[in-house]
Chains A and B, each alone.
Chain A
Amino acid sequence: MLSRTKITVDYTRCGDGVGVDPRECGKCLRACEPAVFLLHQTLGAAEPDPFDPKSWRVTPMWASLCTQCRKCADVCPQNAVELSTVGFWRTKKLAKAGSQAGAS
C-alpha cells in the first residue's frame, strides 16, 4: 500500500462559519457512496455551542474507503473538496475527468 487517497476540504470556503454551512448544504455527504465524510462539531471551545455555525465542519474521516469517483468534488458548490493520491515519491492531484490537469 504505497499510495493512498487524500481528500482535503478547504475550510476557508466551507465550514467554520464561512462560505456555506455544511449542515444546510451537505451535498458531499450525500454524494459519497461509502460515506467517507463526517459532519461534526469542531474541538477547542470550552463551552461547545451546537447552534454556532462556526463550530461545524465536514471532515473526510474514512479516506481509505474512497473509490476516487470524484462525485464529492464535482457536487461541491464552493469547490472546496480536492482529491489527490499520495504516493511514495510524489503527490498526484486527481483532476476532473476529461480536463487537462494531471501530475503536479
Chain B
Amino acid sequence: MAVMCDYCMQHGAGGKWYLNAEHYSNEVAEKHDLRAFLLEQYTNFEQISVRPVGGISPVGMDHTFRMPIIGRVVKRMAERMLHSRKPPRNPFKAEGHMGQVVPLEDAEEILRHCAAEPLIEKNCMCRYMARGYKESCCINFGVMSEIVDKIPRFIPENEKYHLTRDEAIARFREHNRKGYIGTIWFGPFPYINNLCSCENPECAGIRPRVDFGIKSIYKAEYAIDHRPGACRACGACVRQCPFAAISMDKTLGRPVIDQDKCYGCGVCRHVCATDALFLVPRDDVAALAGKY
C-alpha cells in the first residue's frame, strides 16, 4: 500500500487524485479564501521570483543549493515551503505551490470532466520571464480564469482566449505534439487551477527539480516503455524527450530509456513513426513504484 501517495488514497477515491473534480471546484477556492490571495499573487507575479523569502534573496541561491551540506539544508527548507499543506498566508511566497506532470490522455480527461468553467488560455509567464517572448499555452480554470481576466498583460493579443472544453483539448493536444510537457499546478494546495504546457529550461517549476533536485514538481503516474522490435532507430524520440531520459546507444544501434529520469510526460510517443513507445503505470514498474 505504500506505493501510492496517501493523498490519492483519501481524495482520489483510490485512483489519481487530480481526476477528482472536487479539487477544481470554486468551493475549494472559497473555502481557503483564495480569490483575494491569487489576485494579489498574480498582480505581482513578475516580482515574486526575486522577492526575499525569510529575509534571504533568491538571487544567487543556486550557488548555495550546490554547496555540500548547507545546500542540502537549504533545499530541504525550500521543499518544505513548497509542500506545505497549511492554509497559505503570504501571497508572495510559493507556499503549497507544486505541480505534477500529466500525459495527454489524463489532461484530456481533466479538461473534459474535471476542470471548472470558465476556461482561459493565458500567456505563459515562465517563457516570458526566461526568454522575453509571450506564447499563450497555459490553460486556467474557474476562479483562476476570473482573476487572469482582470490582468491584461496575461491575456494573449489577437487570439481567442476564452475556450470551450473542446477548443481547450484541441489547443492542449497541439502543444503536447510540439513536445511541451503537460503539467497541472496546484497553488496553493489543494486547489488545482492550471494546466500548463511547459518546456524544460524555461519553466520555473521544472527547473528546481531537474537542475537542483528540489521536488517542486512530481513525476507523472506513468513511465515510458518501448517495444524494441518495433523501433526503427530513427532517433526522433531522443530529440523530443525534454528530460534527456532517452539516449541513442551506439553499440545497440537504437535508443535506450533511462526510466529513472523519465517524468512520464509521454511527448516522445507523438514523434514515433512505429508506435514503439507506450506509457506504463508507474506503480507497475518495480523500481519506480511510489517514486514521484
Contacts and interface: CB of A to CB of B under 8 A. Distances in A.
A48 B65 CA distance: 30
B63 A41 contact: no
B147 to A, nearest CB: 15
A43 B132 contact: no
Contacts of A61: 49-50, 58-59, 62
Given A1-B66, A59-B50, A65 B130 contact: no
Contact of A35 (B46, B47, B58, B201): B201
B44 interface: yes
A31 to B, nearest CB: 10
A37 B130 CA distance: 6
B128 interface: yes
A92 to B, nearest CB: 17
A65 B58 CA distance: 15
Nearest to B211: A65
Interface in A59-79: 59, 61-65
Contact of B47 (A1, A26, A41): A41
B7 interface: no
A39 B132 contact: yes
Interface residues of B, number: 26
B50 A40 contact: yes
Contacts of A50: 46, 153
A14 interface: no
Given A43-B47, A59-B59, A63-B60, A26 B211 contact: no
Contacts of A38: 49-50, 129-130
A62 B44 CA distance: 21
A29 interface: yes
Nearest to B58: A61
B89 interface: no
A39 B49 CA distance: 10
B227 interface: no
B131 A26 contact: yes
A1 B132 contact: no
Interface residues of A, number: 26
Interface in B24-80: 43-44, 46-47, 49-51, 58-60, 62-63, 65-67
A4 interface: yes
Interface string A16-53: 00000011011001100111011111110000101000
A36 B195 CA distance: 25
A26 B128 CA distance: 10
B16 interface: no
A33 B201 contact: yes
Contact of A43 (B51, B60, B202): B51
Given A26-B132, A35-B131, A37-B130, A62 B62 contact: yes
A38 B132 CA distance: 9
Contacts of B153: 50
A25 B132 CA distance: 8
Given A1-B66, A59-B59, A62-B211, A35 B50 contact: no
Contact of A48 (B47, B66, B133): B47
A59 to B, nearest CB: 6
Given A61-B50, A61-B58, 12 more contacts: A4-B63, A26-B131, A26-B132, A29-B132, A30-B131, A35-B130, A39-B129, A39-B130, A42-B50, A48-B43, A48-B47, A61-B49
Minimum-distance CB pairs A-B, first 3? A26-B132, A35-B201, A41-B46
10 contacts: A25-B132, A26-B131, A26-B132, A29-B130, A30-B132, A35-B207, A38-B129, A61-B59, A63-B60, A65-B211
